[in-house]
Chains A and B, each alone.
Chain A
Amino acid sequence: MKDKQLIVSAIKNGTVIDHIPARNLFKVISILSLERIDTQITFGTNLDSKRFGSKAIIKIADKYFLDEEVNKIALVAPQAKLNIIRDYEVIEKRDVEVPDSITGIVKCVNPKCITNNEEVIAKFSVIQSDDIALKCIYCEKITHQDQMTII
């Protein structure tokens, strides 16, 4: 199955991000700022997945990500898998890891937080990484996974 899918729109060199929950595809695109990349990008969404019901996949030609870049997507796609492609071959598979701290990306859940009222970039320490919980370093309130708004 996997081979078939890769052949359909196989890339020669680049990164394939698989196992993105379908509903979070556009969040992943925004977190990785893919709109600013000028190489070829293909994505599919609402694909069948035994794990999520429906998943999305993104293939980015000629682009490799740093761990710290890609770990940011752990907030919305913690199960995502990265396939690093060189010359049509998968040379490496990587999991995403929830980072220790998050700058930007997420909005603090507290409407009375300074970051929601002045031009201050939200910063969080990650206090729980399975069911993600972020503690705002400013107002000290906790933003849980189900409350997260991606900026």
Chain B
Amino acid sequence: MKNKSLVSITDYSRDEYLKILDLAAEFEKNPNQEILKGKLIATLFFEPSTRTRLSFESAVNRLGGRVVGFSDASSSSVTKGETLKDTIKMVTNYVDLIVMRHPLEGAARYASEVASVPVVNAGDGANQHPSQTLLDLYSIRKTQGKLEDLNIFMIGDLKYGRTVHSLLMAMSHFNPTFYFISPDELKMPKEYLMFLEQRGIKYYEYKDFMPIISQADIVYMTRVQKERFSDPIEYEKTKNAYILRNSMLDNTRPNMKILHPLPRVNEIAADVDENPKAYYFTQALNGLYVRQAIISSILGLK
């Protein structure tokens, strides 16, 4: 993985996922080390994402590295009309690695072609956000003790949700059974269902999770956004069907954990937070260790 950009979750093999997860487990035991001393990392956020940026910057700082960059395109030369290519060409002169978030899809792949240092994609539009997927895998393995043979429930917006698509691709290496629960308008796209069929992976589609939630090992919640519906009445009718409440968790498996990429709005009721099955805040913390693992393995330091 040394010097290899991480743009898409499919850039890494199953073995490479596992290497990152093992490394992240080491960092979890000891997140403060000086292994990035003398290294300079750019965090180029062409659109704001405070959560992701703070996670990456904390990861670098706790390992003794330094960070330069911007948190919003309005504070960079993009506002003067500079192309992405020129910005990357310039930054690549100064730093050892670029972490970037961009509103346009494919921007990170293009940057990785232009840059002479590795690029880590921290989100390109609705396309990819591989460090999120790796921290999801880490959270699943940590809570379940394994990645193989799990029942993975994905609930909410499965059509536009980039996190669920990437997680589906990554989990496909570990013989899961998927349960897709969504309103008709936001079903898992056909291309992903075809992908699963080609790989012989079982999946089921439902509109309501209550009758089956007792089967779940992992419940991955996503936000159902009003603007995704062509018909606002349809949104009003369906929005409450995809809210998880504490009372719904009574008959769930003891090992079951609830994941969410955050930020959440109302799809997980606040009363779930105190339930030991709620894992989303720890999941976000895991992002720190996983990003430490990604950066240090790409820089060849681990």
Q: Interface residues, chain A, CB within 8 Å of chain B? A: 110, 112-115, 117-120, 136-142
Contacts and interface: CB of A to CB of B under 8 A. Distances in A.
Interface string B186-209: 000001000000000000000000
A136 B106 contact: yes
Nearest to B105: A139
A97 B124 CA distance: 33
Interface string B54-90: 0000000000000000000000000000011100000
B8 to A, nearest CB: 7
A113 B8 contact: no
B109 interface: yes
Among A115, A120, A136, chain B packs the most CB atoms within 10 A around the CB of: A120
B125 interface: yes
Nearest to B189: A142
A41 B298 CA distance: 55
Contacts of B107: 114, 138
Contacts of A118: 83-85, 104, 110
Nearest to A119: B83
17 contacts: A112-B103, A112-B104, A114-B107, A117-B104, A118-B84, A118-B110, A136-B106, A137-B106, A137-B109, A138-B105, A138-B107, A138-B109, A138-B110, A139-B105, A139-B125, A140-B128, A141-B105
B127 interface: yes
Interface in B112-171: 124-128
Contacts of B105: 110, 112-114, 138-141
Contacts of A114: 84, 102, 104-107, 109-110, 124
B128 to A, nearest CB: 7
A120 B107 CA distance: 10
B106 A139 contact: yes
A124 to B, nearest CB: 11
Contacts of A113: 104-106
B127 A139 contact: yes
Contacts of A117: 104
B106 A115 contact: yes
Contacts of B104: 112-114, 117-118, 139
B172 to A, nearest CB: 16
Given A114-B105, A114-B107, A140 B127 contact: yes
Contact of B110 (A110, A120, A141): A120
A35 B85 CA distance: 32
A140 B104 CA distance: 12
A147 to B, nearest CB: 14
Nearest to B83: A118
B92 to A, nearest CB: 17
